[in-house]
Amino acid sequence: MTDLETTVLVLAGALILAPLLARGLRRWVAIPVIVFELLLGIVAGPSVLGWIEPSDALGLIAQLGVGLLFFMAGTEIDPAVMRGRLGRRAWGGWLLSFVLGLAIGALLAPGLGAVIIAIALSSTALGTLLPILRDNGDLQTPFGLSVGAVGAVGEFGPIIAISLLLGTHTPGVALVVLIVFGLIAAALIWFAALIPRGQLHRFVEATLHTSGQFGVRLVLGILLALVVASAVLGVDTLLGAFTAGILWRALISDADPATAEAVESKVEGLAFGFGVPVFFIATGVGFDLRALLDQPVTLLLVPAAAVLLLVVRGLPASLAAPDGADLRMRGAVGVMGATGLPIIIVTTGHGVDLGLITPIAATVLVGAGMLSVLLFPLLAGALRKGSGTANEPAPATA
């Protein structure tokens, strides 16, 4: 078989095997499926079995996957929540995380390397947490709203920082370009919220079960258009994907619930059934496990970096806990907020490409992100079970 054929075959096997493993172990421990996707990528990659290698084809699909991941995160943003006290607390917590990350980064890496570390340590994996919240029925609870706000800011803030500080423009020019992109995005969202959408919704509904699939095509069209627009302007493409999700939410907001749910289900199937898993499998393939195993001291830095995530991101994130929450509930929100991986992967990749951080440093941070995805949601669940306010916290949107 050719390398491409082997890659396709291994990907197919990993895509099928990961949810089976997650399901099989659920009776003992609930581990997010992305953990198995990452592990299967590591096992199949050059660090263990060497069946597949990083390639342009794999990277292209992975880019689509990360775009879909951030699109789905954008669809979950509730502007009403983000404008209230909860939003202000979430933003305040993130800014504190970023400042703490910069202070730690300045001790570990010079110049923009410190920014790379700060962005990585201040991020939250909203796209990873959303399926967990949805599966547990927590999306609309005060706990879920708090975690959602923390996660939204923990993805949006780092994306803005990447665009301002790590793009091709100087910071001043980058700020102007970012404002221009923001105005364009705001105008599109405002226009989508005002225009009559009845005919659009009827056409989407009419093609739900035909080869037309206009709803899915429109989603992909919006996603690709805003990603390209952000690339042309020199803004990070993740911001384009994130904004596309917000725009789609505005377009479909007053559609028949059954229609909106049907389109969302199809897009989720495309995202979490193919694109997003390939992104995490590809991350596993590219993970340099041998570099960590060859240096035991470096391997110990992975859990140390995971603890840094708890301190730098988790403690400030707990500020957005529901009103009246006890210490354990606040800890649960903070631990969920410290769960980070996609932004860590992207920003450390930028750092290595630009020569701002070493490949070993990137591997340690990505490894810490993997640990956070594996352990932090489990820890948050244990904290919630012991919380006296787990079932009756005060409303989070006050």
**Residue 321 carries which DSSP code?**
S
Distance CA 315, CA 302 (A): 19
Distance CA 330, CA 380 (A): 10
The domain spans of the chain are: 3-385
Q: Find out if CATH 1.10.3720.10 is the number for domain 3-385.
A: no
Place 277 in a pLDDT band, splitting at 50, 70 and 90. Answer: very high
Supply 180's token pair. Answer: 């221009």
To the nearest whole percent, how much of the chain has pLDDT over 70?
Answer: 95
| Sequence-distant (≥ 6) Cβ neighbours of residue 53 within 8 angstroms | 3, 45, 46, 285
- Which amino acid, residue 204? V
pTM across the whole model? 0.85
Res 390: pLDDT: 47
Mind listing the pLDDT tens digit for each residue in 113-158? Answer: 999 999 999 999 887 787 778 777 777 788 888 998 899 899 889 9
Quick count: other Cβ atoms within 10 Å of Cβ 88? 14
Is pLDDT of 398 > 50? no
**How many helices and strands, by DSSP H and E, does the chain display?**
20, 0
Is pLDDT of 370 > 60? yes
Q: What does the pLDDT average to over 240-253?
A: 88
